[in-house]
């Protein structure tokens, strides 16, 4: 059953949320690893509930979604081994679809954050035209430290 878009989002954000909800639940997309309840599978796939990786710096979240992520990380005091990398969705989803699914995850269950606009996804994609490989946790945190979310 589809969840209604949260009232705090503007009309554009609500439209992104609803599109993102459909994308999240597509076979082979987000729900495969992070699960319908967003709790993930330990130790490989972290929960995205109340996650600073989801609710914090939108550029960090966009980059890990576009390029994938590999390496160990800690979220809310729980360590994840990082042996199974996050799928890079940059070649699978367009800018609006990435913005939509990220807006959805940033605004479900215990998450509450601003919508991500397709223009923000496009800017990051355009700034990294030759990027094909996964981002490492270390590389991504160097560019976007958690304490600056």
Cβ-proximal residues to 67 (8 Å cutoff; 6+ apart), any chain:
88, 90, 128, 131, 133, 134, 135
Q: Which architecture, in CATH terms, is 11-144?
A: Orthogonal Bundle (1.10)
Q: What is the DSSP string of 49-83?
A: TT-HHHHS-HHHHHHHHHH-EES-EEETTEEE---
Answer whether residue 149 shows pLDDT above 50: no
Average pLDDT over residues 119-141: 94
Distance CA 46, CA 76 (A): 10
Task: Name the band, by pLDDT with cuts 50, 70 and 90, for residue 148.
Answer: very low
**Per-residue pLDDT tens over the stretch 67-82:** 999 999 888 888 888 7
Q: pLDDT of 50-108, one tens digit each?
A: 889 999 999 999 999 999 999 998 888 888 887 788 999 999 999 999 999 999 999 99
- Residue-level pLDDT at 109: 77
Tell me the β-bridge partners of 45: 41
Three-class SS of residue 18? helix
Look at residue 128 and tell me whether its pLDDT is greater than 90.
yes
């Amino acid at each position: 059953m589809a969840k209604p878009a949260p009232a705090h989002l503007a009309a554009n954000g609500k439209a992104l949320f609803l599109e993102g909800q459909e994308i999240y639940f597509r076979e082979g997309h987000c729900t495969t690893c992070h699960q319908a309840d967003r709790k993930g599978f330990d130790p490989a796939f972290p929960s995205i509930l109340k996650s600073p990786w989801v609710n914090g710096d939108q550029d960090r979240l966009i980059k890990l979604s576009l390029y994938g992520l590999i390496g160990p990380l800690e979220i809310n005091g729980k360590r994840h081994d990082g042996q199974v990398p996050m799928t890079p969705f940059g070649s699978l989803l367009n800018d609006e679809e990435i913005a939509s699914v990220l807006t959805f995850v940033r605004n479900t269950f215990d998450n509450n954050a601003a919508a991500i606009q397709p223009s923000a996804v496009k800017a990051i994609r355009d700034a990294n035209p030759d990027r094909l490989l996964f981002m490492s946790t270390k590389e991504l945190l160097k560019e976007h430290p958690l304490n600056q979310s």
